[in-house]
Amino acid sequence: MDKILFGDNQFFGVNHMSEERARAQAMKFRDTKAIIRVLDIAYDMGIRTFMCTTHERIAEVCDHVRANPKKYEDFKFYPGMPYAHKYANAVTELGMLGALKRFVPGSMVGAAVKGGKAVITRNFLGMMKLLIDAEMKMFAGLSTEVIFLQNVMTDLLLGMNLRDPFIAFSEYVKEKYNAEPGFFTMNLPRLLTLLEECGIENPIICSSINKIGFRMCGGVEAYERAIKEKKFRPIAMSILASGAIRPQEAVDYVCSQTNIRAIVFGASTEAHIRETKELIEWYW
C-alpha cells in the first residue's frame, strides 16, 4: 500500500464544514476533464493511488485511464461502495427491482431472475454480491488492490451488530477480484472489535484521524489506543478536520501515530496537492 493516497470528495461537492464551498467545488468539477487534470497533477507528483467512490462520473475517469494504458501503467484505484446517493435516486425513480436491474451486470432478463430471487428470498448476502459486481464493472481491466465498504454501510451493519455481511464481503472481494477488503468507518474502536470477532485478521480500515476528534466516534484517546495496540492497517482521512486544523499541525499529529499505514487527502489545486504531499513526506 502506498503511503499517500488521493481522494475524490472535492470532485463531487463534499465538504463537511461549508455547503457554499461544497457547491463551488461541485461547479468547478462539473466537467470530468477538470477531474482528470487534477488527477494528472497528483500523478505527476508521484501519487499513484486514487481512493474513490463509485459515482457515475468515476466511470468516465476509468474509461480515460483504460484508453491511455502507457501513461497510467502503475495507476491504482481503491473503490469504495456503495455510493448511497446513486442507489437512493434509482430506487426512488425505478423501484427496488428496477434499480437492481439497472445496476446488476449482464442481461436484463438475467438481472431480473437473479435480483428477483434475491429479493423474494430476502437473500441479503446474495444481493450484496450482485451489487458488488455492478459497482466493480466500471473498473474492469484496472488495478483495484483494495476494495472498500463505505462507512454508510459499514456503520449501519456495525450498529446492528451483524457479522455475516462483513465476512461475506471480505471473502467475496478476495475470491472474485483478488483484492483485499477495506472498511470505512466513523467508529474505529468498535469496528476493530467486531472484525476481530469475525475472524478478519489485520484489516485495512480507513477512518477520520485528527487531533480534535472530528468525526471520530469514541474519542481521540480510544483511537490512539487502538492504533497503538491493535493489529490492523489504519488509513487516516479527514486529517485537517475539514480545515479546522492547520496543515502542518495536522500532518505532524497523524504522522506521530507510528502505526498509521497511509494518509488519504483531497485537494483541487496544484499548490495544495504539493504542500500536503511535501508535508506528509517531511514528517514521515
Grid coordinates representing 164 are 455475516
Residues 129, 161 within the same domain: no
Residues 56, 162 within the same domain: yes
What pTM did the predictor assign? 0.88
Cis peptide before 69 (omega within 30 of 0): no
pLDDT of residue 130: 85
Grid coordinates representing 238 are 479527514
b/e map 79-101, b = 16+ CB within 10 Å: bbbbbeebbeebeeeeeebebbb
Cβ pair 130, 90 in contact under 8 A? no
- Residue ending a domain, among 124, 141, 158, is 141
Q: Is 263 exposed, middle or buried (0-12, 13-18, 19+ CB in 10 A)?
A: buried
- Residue ending a domain, among 141, 156, 188, is 141
pLDDT of residue 264: 98
Residues 49, 184 within the same domain: yes
Residues 192, 272 within the same domain: yes
pLDDT of residue 120: 45
Grid coordinates representing 123 are 437473500
Residues 127, 152 within the same domain: no
At residue 217's C-alpha, the angle toward residues 136 and 219, to 5°, is 135
- The rounded distance, in Å, linking the Cα atoms of 276 and 201 is 31
State which residues form the domain around 164.
Answer: 4-83+143-283
150 three-class SS? coil
Closest to 254 (Cα-Cα) out of 205, 206, 209: 209
Residues 278, 180 within the same domain: yes
Domain count for the chain, please give it: 2
- The rounded distance, in Å, linking the Cα atoms of 97 and 118 is 10
Cβ pair 165, 198 in contact under 8 A? no
Tens-of-pLDDT digits for all 284 residues of the chain? 999 999 998 998 665 555 666 666 667 888 999 999 999 999 999 999 999 999 989 999 999 999 999 999 999 999 999 877 666 666 677 676 666 666 665 544 454 455 555 554 456 788 788 889 989 999 999 999 999 999 999 999 999 999 999 999 999 999 999 999 999 999 999 999 999 999 999 999 999 999 999 999 999 999 999 999 999 999 999 999 988 999 999 999 999 998 999 999 999 999 999 999 999 999 99
Residues 132, 194 within the same domain: no
Q: Residue count of the chain, please give it.
A: 284
pLDDT of residue 121: 46
195: left (phi over 0), alpha (psi -120 to 50) or beta: alpha
At residue 274's C-alpha, the angle toward residues 79 and 27, to 5°, is 60
Residues 67, 174 within the same domain: yes
